[in-house]
Amino acid sequence: MSRFSVTTAIFEETETHSEYSLHLILDDGIPDVLVNQVFLLKSQRNKKRNSLVREATSCLYQWAIFANYIWDENNIDYINATSSDILNFLYFLSVEKGMHNNNIDLYINTIARVYENLAIKNIPLDKSLFCPLPEMAISGGLRANRRSLTYISKMRNLLPHENSQPASMPSYCKWYTSSQIDALHSNLRLDYACMFLISVYTGMRASSVLSLHLDSFDARKRTLTERRSKTGQVHTCIIPQSLANKLTTYIIEMRSMYMSSSEILFIQKNGSPVSYNAYRKALSVAAEKAGFTEPVHTHAGRSTFLANLRSYQLRERRLGHETFSDSDICLLMDWSSLKCLYNYDLLTRIQEISPMMGTLQKEIYSTAQTQTTVSTKNE
Write the pLDDT tens digit of every residue in 219-229: 999 999 887 65
Residue 301: closest CA among 325, 283, 285: 283
Model confidence, pTM = 0.55
- Signed CA dihedral, 138, 144, 150, 152: sign only: negative
d(CA 100, CA 91): 11
Long-range contacts of 1-5 (CB under 8 A, 24+ apart): 1/336, 1/337, 2/64, 2/68, 2/336, 2/337, 2/339, 3/27, 3/28, 3/67, 3/68, 3/71, 3/336, 4/32, 4/63, 4/64, 4/67, 4/68, 4/71, 5/29, 5/64
Q: Identify the pLDDT of residue 373.
A: 43
CB distance 201 to 305 below 8 Å: yes
Q: Identify the pLDDT of residue 274.
A: 92
Whether residue 76 has pLDDT greater than 70: yes
Whether residue 148 has pLDDT greater than 70: yes
Three-state SS across 5-49? EEEEEEECCCCCCCCEEEEEEEECCEECHHHHHHHHHHHCEECCC
Instruction: Specify the 3-state DSSP secondary structure of 106.
Output: helix
Q: Identify the pLDDT of residue 344.
A: 64
* pLDDT-based confidence at residue 52 (cuts at 50, 70, 90): very low
Omega into 355 within 30° of 0, i.e. cis? yes
Mean pLDDT of the 60-84 span: 89
Of 84-98, 207-221, 240-254, least confident by mean pLDDT is 84-98
Across the chain, mean pLDDT equals 78
CB distance 309 to 364 below 8 Å: yes
Whether residue 123 has pLDDT greater than 70: yes
Q: Identify the pLDDT of residue 23.
A: 82
Q: Identify the pLDDT of residue 46.
A: 42
* pLDDT-based confidence at residue 115 (cuts at 50, 70, 90): very high
d(CA 170, CA 160): 6
CB distance 32 to 4 below 8 Å: yes
* pLDDT-based confidence at residue 357 (cuts at 50, 70, 90): very low
Mean pLDDT of the 25-50 span: 73
Q: Identify the pLDDT of residue 238.
A: 87
Mean pLDDT of the 6-18 span: 70
Q: Identify the pLDDT of residue 49.
A: 46
Q: Identify the pLDDT of residue 353.
A: 43
Considering the chain, what percentage of its residues have pLDDT values greater than 90? 31
d(CA 224, CA 213): 10
d(CA 60, CA 64): 6
CB distance 368 to 332 below 8 Å: yes
Whether residue 369 has pLDDT greater than 70: no
d(CA 54, CA 236): 50
Whether residue 38 has pLDDT greater than 90: no
Q: Identify the pLDDT of residue 354.
A: 41
Within 10 Å of residue 335's Cβ, how many Cβ atoms?
17
Concatenating the DSSP letter of every residue in 168-209 gives GS---B-S--HHHHHHHHHTS-HHHHHHHHHHHHH---HHHH
- Just give the CATH number of 178-375: 1.10.443.10
Q: Where are the alpha helices (DSSP H) in 226-266?
A: 241-249
More confident residue, 51 or 272: 272
In tens, the pLDDT along 299-332 reads: 888 888 888 888 777 777 778 888 878 888 877 8
Domain ranges of the chain: 1-165, 178-375
